[in-house]
Structure formats: structure tokens, C-alpha cells
């Protein structure tokens, strides 16, 4: 059993169980990967694929199990090569990041700017997705870093580094009564139609829990995956928006009134996560440092606050 068998196995499932396509992807011919599978199955002593005649259609339970191990082993091989590259070409390579809309638009830009100037040789790839997709992508080694507020701490394979904390604000058209109210309470928010994030996004869990815990029910008339949609409909007069405070941009959003809500909701903690067992290139670790410094450090009026650094075992218990 050698890594080449694992390469054929993973290529096969990654290309719709087509031996020929997998072979092409591996720069081999069909019979070669056929043989790899055959050898694997004979050495293991169990069928890995379900077959319809000669055609492979899916994985057996064992195959599923084994695929998982094979992927990990290959990933470790990549880690080993990565260690080497950190020697040969410390300042060049690829950094793949997955994050959510809010992070990508409002938090990452200055970080990216600083990173690309210090590492002009690094090919930076940013993917956008839902928190669930980020976790998926990270554990499948489709990206190196995942950045968001939800879901990252749940997965045992991920190391999640807390970077900064943030809270919410309400935005409304300039003359909206909510902006003049003396005491801004949850009840007050419930008096108006609300626009905020969909479930699974940007702290929506804590948002709903807070109302539920207070025994009041907000009237959410629109849920959006990203802040721009919320702003748009607030400008349309559909309701008042509750967004991450850091997504309110003075200058750009001066046509909207804004009031802080951090006294009403729990703080959210945005984290950057990576799979524990993988080697992170030096520049990837540096990216995390830059991210923490940039978000934790300056720009106080965006209410990005630094967050106490924590040790790994604390993070695990989140």
C-alpha cells in the first residue's frame, strides 16, 4: 500500500467515479488506476466501491471510511511538502481563504492590503460561502483558512483562533423615530419591522436567542445573507436594519442613521480556523497575525475590539 493508491482512490470519487477521468487528472491511463483500486481492495480484503457491472457507482461503507483516512494521509503528504517550501521559497506560494460576505467586505480589505504588500509573491485566493460551507471546505482541505463568527469552534478537527469581537447596531432612514428614542430596548426594536441576517449567518443565532430569552418576538420582515441587501431595503423604507456595527461605514452610509446596540446583545467573536493536523505555511501564520493585529488594533470607531488571546485548550471547549 502506497500513497499512489490513495491518490487514485480520491481522484476517483472526486471525479464522479469515472476511472478514465480520474486517470486523466492523475496523468495516468485508465488501466493504471484500475489496478490501483484492485490492489487496494485486495490488500484491504474488502470491496471499496459498489459496482454495476463494470462501472463504479459509489462507495461502500468501508470505502467511505477508508476514503476519509486516505484523504488525511494525502493531506499529511502535502503538509510535508509545505514544510519544504517554507525553506526554499518562504515568501511565495498559495494561500486559500474562505470567509463570509460580511468579513470579506468590511473586515478583510485592510488585512488583505497589508498582506499582499508584504507578500507580493503569494497567490491569494478568497472564496465566499456560508459558515457551513467554510467548515466543510476547511476540513476537506479545499482552503487553508476559514474566517467567520459561527460554527468554526464546533468542529474537533479545526483549531479556531479568536481574533476580535463585535456587536450590532440598528440602522434606519434619517428621520425614523427609533433614532430619537431615549432608551433603546429590545421592546423598542420589536415595535418596527426588522431586517437582519438569515440563520447561520453573522450571529443570527445569538440575535434570535436574545429576543426569545427576553420573551419578546421581533417582527423580522426580511432576512438576508449579506449586509448590503439589508441596507438596500432599509433605504427602501421596508423597515429598520440590525447589522454588525462594523458593517456601517461612515462616509458611505451617512444617508442612514445608526445607533449602537451592544448593550442589548451578547458579543460575537470572529475567529480564523484551520485544520489542526495540517502544516500552515509561514505566511499563512503571518496572515493570522496580521488579521488579529489589524482587527484588534486600530480603527476604534468601527468597534472592532481586540479579544483576549486564549490558549488552544480553552478554545477547544467553546
Using CB under 8 A, list all residues that contact its own copies.
1-4, 43-46, 62, 65-66, 69-70, 72-73, 76-77, 79-81, 83-85, 87-88, 154, 156, 276-277, 279, 312-313, 316-318
Q: Least separation, in Å, of the C-beta of 25 and its own copies? A: 18
Q: Least separation, in Å, of the C-beta of 7 and its own copies? A: 10
Q: Please give the Cα distance from 30 to 34 (Å, whole number).
A: 6
> Interior CA angle at 94 toward 98 and 18, to 5°?
75
- Toward DNA, which CB reaches closer, 54 or 308? 54
Q: Which of the residues 36 through 55 are near DNA (CB under 7 A)?
A: 36-39, 51-55
Radius of gyration of the chain (CA): 24
Residue 180 interacts with DNA (CB under 7 A)? no
| Total interface residues for DNA by CB under 7 A | 24
Q: Which does 56 bind (CB under 5 to 8 A by kind): DNA, its own copies, none?
A: DNA
Q: Least separation, in Å, of the C-beta of 46 and DNA? A: 15
Q: Please give the Cα distance from 7 to 15 (Å, whole number).
A: 12
Q: Least separation, in Å, of the C-beta of 214 and DNA? A: 58
- Toward its own copies, which CB reaches closer, 89 or 209? 89
**Maximum C-alpha span of the chain:** 76
- Toward DNA, which CB reaches closer, 30 or 127? 30
- Toward DNA, which CB reaches closer, 74 or 186? 74
Q: Please give the Cα distance from 84 to 86 (Å, whole number).
A: 5
Buried b / exposed e over 21-60, threshold 16 CB at 10 Å, is bbbebbebeeeebbebbeebbeeeeeebbeeeeeebeebe
Sequence-ordered strand ranges (E) for 231-306: 240-244, 257-260, 268-275, 305-306
Do residues 309 and 293 make contact, with C-beta atoms less than 8 angstroms apart?
no
- Toward DNA, which CB reaches closer, 36 or 292? 36
Binding site for DNA (CB under 7 A): 4, 17-20, 23, 27-32, 34-39, 51-56
Amino acid at each position: 500500500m502506497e500513497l499512489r493508491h490513495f491518490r487514485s482512490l480520491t481522484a476517483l470519487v472526486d471525479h464522479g467515479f469515472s476511472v478514465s477521468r480520474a486517470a486523466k487528472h492523475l496523468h495516468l491511463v485508465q488501466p493504471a488506476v484500475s489496478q490501483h483500486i484492485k490492489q487496494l481492495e485486495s490488500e484491504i480484503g474488502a470491496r471499496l466501491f459498489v459496482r454495476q457491472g463494470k462501472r463504479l457507482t459509489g462507495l461502500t461503507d468501508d470505502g467511505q471510511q477508508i476514503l476519509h483516512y486516505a484523504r488525511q494521509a494525502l493531506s499529511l503528504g502535502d503538509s510535508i511538502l509545505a514544510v519544504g517550501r517554507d525553506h526554499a521559497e518562504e515568501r511565495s506560494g498559495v494561500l486559500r481563504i474562505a470567509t463570509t460576505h460580511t468579513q470579506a467586505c468590511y473586515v478583510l480589505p485592510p488585512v488583505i492590503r497589508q498582506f499582499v504588500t508584504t507578500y507580493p509573491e503569494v497567490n491569494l485566493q478568497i472564496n465566499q460561502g456560508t459558515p457551513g460551507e467554510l467548515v466543510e471546505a476547511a476540513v476537506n482541505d479545499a482552503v487553508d483558512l476559514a474566517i467567520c463568527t459561527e460554527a468554526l469552534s464546533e468542529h474537533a478537527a479545526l483549531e479556531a483562533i479568536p481574533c476580535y469581537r463585535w456587536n450590532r447596531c440598528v440602522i434606519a432612514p434619517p428621520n425614523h423615530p427609533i433614532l430619537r428614542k431615549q432608551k433603546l430596548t429590545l421592546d423598542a426594536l420589536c415595535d418596527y419591522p426588522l431586517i437582519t441576517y438569515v440563520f447561520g449567518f453573522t450571529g443570527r443565532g445569538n440575535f434570535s436567542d436574545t429576543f426569545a430569552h427576553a420573551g419578546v418576538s421581533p417582527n423580522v420582515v426580511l432576512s438576508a445573507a449579506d449586509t448590503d441587501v439589508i441596507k438596500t431595503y432599509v433605504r427602501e423604507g421596508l423597515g429598520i436594519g440590525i447589522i454588525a456595527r462594523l458593517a456601517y461605514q461612515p462616509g458611505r452610509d451617512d444617508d442612514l442613521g445608526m445607533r449602537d446596540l451592544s448593550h442589548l446583545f451578547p458579543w460575537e467573536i470572529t475567529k480564523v480556523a484551520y485544520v489542526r493536523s495540517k502544516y500552515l505555511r509561514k505566511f499563512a501564520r503571518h496572515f493570522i497575525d496580521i488579521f488579529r493585529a489589524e482587527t484588534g488594533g486600530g480603527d476604534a470607531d468601527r468597534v472592532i475590539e481586540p479579544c483576549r488571546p486564549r490558549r488552544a485548550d480553552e478554545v477547544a471547549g467553546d
